[in-house]
């Protein structure tokens, strides 16, 4: 029980000290975990948070991500977790390679 408490505290500190870019990567990880568990509620929360993180000052890019996230929400509603997993896995990899490596 104590180990779980320490792990939870560590994760909380990790999130509090993360950059916005690292938080997006964390959301992708949480989304992928939710897909693996077929956890529809958690996956919806993650996708909504990803949508809320979009910066529409960069409208073209934000709109593309918005459409992908909406597609994932629709697939989640229909129970197509593998389709969502594929999208999130690719987005996570591209985000890690191109945004976090700047």
Tell me the residue range of the domain where 34 lies: 20-98
For residue 48, being part of any structural domain is answered with yes
Pair 95, 50: CB distance under 8 Å:
no
Residues of the chain predicted below pLDDT 70: 6, 10-11, 16-17, 102
Count: domains in the chain: 1
For residue 10, being part of any structural domain is answered with no
For residue 58, being part of any structural domain is answered with yes
For residue 33, being part of any structural domain is answered with yes
Provide the 10 A C-beta neighbour count for residue 2: 6
For residue 52, being part of any structural domain is answered with yes
Q: So what's the pLDDT on residue 102? A: 65
Could you read off the pLDDT of 26-38 as tens digits, one per residue? 999 999 999 999 9
| Whole-angstrom distance, CA of residue 31 vs CA of residue 45 | 9
For residue 8, being part of any structural domain is answered with no
Q: So what's the pLDDT on residue 99? A: 85
Q: So what's the pLDDT on residue 101? A: 76
For residue 38, being part of any structural domain is answered with yes
């Amino acid at each position: 029980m104590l180990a779980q408490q320490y792990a939870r505290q560590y994760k909380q500190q990790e999130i509090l000290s993360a950059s916005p870019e690292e938080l997006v990567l964390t959301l992708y990880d949480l989304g992928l975990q939710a897909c693996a568990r077929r956890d529809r509620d958690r996956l919806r929360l993650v996708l909504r948070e990803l949508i809320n993180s979009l910066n529409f000052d960069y409208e073209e890019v934000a709109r593309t991500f918005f459409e992908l996230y909406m597609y994932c929400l629709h697939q989640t509603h229909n129970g197509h977790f593998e389709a969502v997993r594929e999208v999130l896995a690719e987005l996570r990899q591209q985000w890690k390679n191109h945004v976090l490596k700047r």
